[in-house]
Structure 1
Amino acid sequence: MTEDELREVAKEGGKEGGREAAQEVLRALGVDLEHPFEAQKDMHFLRDLRKGTSSVKGKAINTIIGALALAGLYKIFTGLK
């Protein structure tokens, strides 16, 4: 075998090994390798859920800060009378 042929064999072996390792990791994470589009849909759902909860959290914090500010203003104005 020539050096180029050895490189090609090593390259193909590396690709195959990497492919198998990736599949093992995905299986360990619970990804169904038989239905990759379903796994993609699950990831999209999780991203949407994360963004949605982050948005709700931000709005809740803003509401609480606004309520505290209004309560403080109320206290200040009622104290002046």
Structure 2
Amino acid sequence: MTNEELREIARLGGKEGGREGAREVLRALGVDIEHPLEAQKDMHFLRDFRKGTYSVKVKFINTTIGAFALAGLYKLFSGVMWEP
């Protein structure tokens, strides 16, 4: 066997070993490797869910800060007598 043939055998063996290792990792993570399109849909759903919850969190924080600011302004101006 020549060095080129040995390299090709080693390359193919490493490639197959990498594939099998990736499959085992994905199975351990609960990814259905038999249906890759379904797995992609699941990942898209999770990304959309994460972005949606972040958006809700930001809106909640902004609303809370606005309410406290409004309450503070009310408290500040409620003591001022407004005369026409």
Percent identity, aligned pairs only? Answer: 77
1:11 aligned partner:
11
1:48 aligned partner:
48
Could you report, residue by residue, the CA deviation over 1:4-56 in whole angstroms, capped at 9, with x for unpaired residues? 11111111111000000000000001111111111110000000000000000
* Cα distance between partner residues in 2 of 1:47 and 1:37: 15
C-alpha RMSD of the superposition:
0.8
User: Does the alignment pair 1:67 with 2:67?
Assistant: yes
Gaps of 5+ in 2: none
* Cα distance between partner residues in 2 of 1:3 and 1:34: 37
Number of equivalenced pairs: 81
The structure having more radius of gyration, on CA atoms, is 2
How far the C-alpha of 1:77 sits from its partner, in A, is 0.5
TM-score, normalised to structure 2, is: 0.92
**Post-superposition, which runs of at least 4 consecutive aligned residues in structure 1 deviate over 6 A?**
none
Q: More helix per residue: 1 or 2?
A: 1
TM-score, normalised to structure 1, is: 0.95
> Residue 79 of structure 2: SS of its match in structure 1?
helix
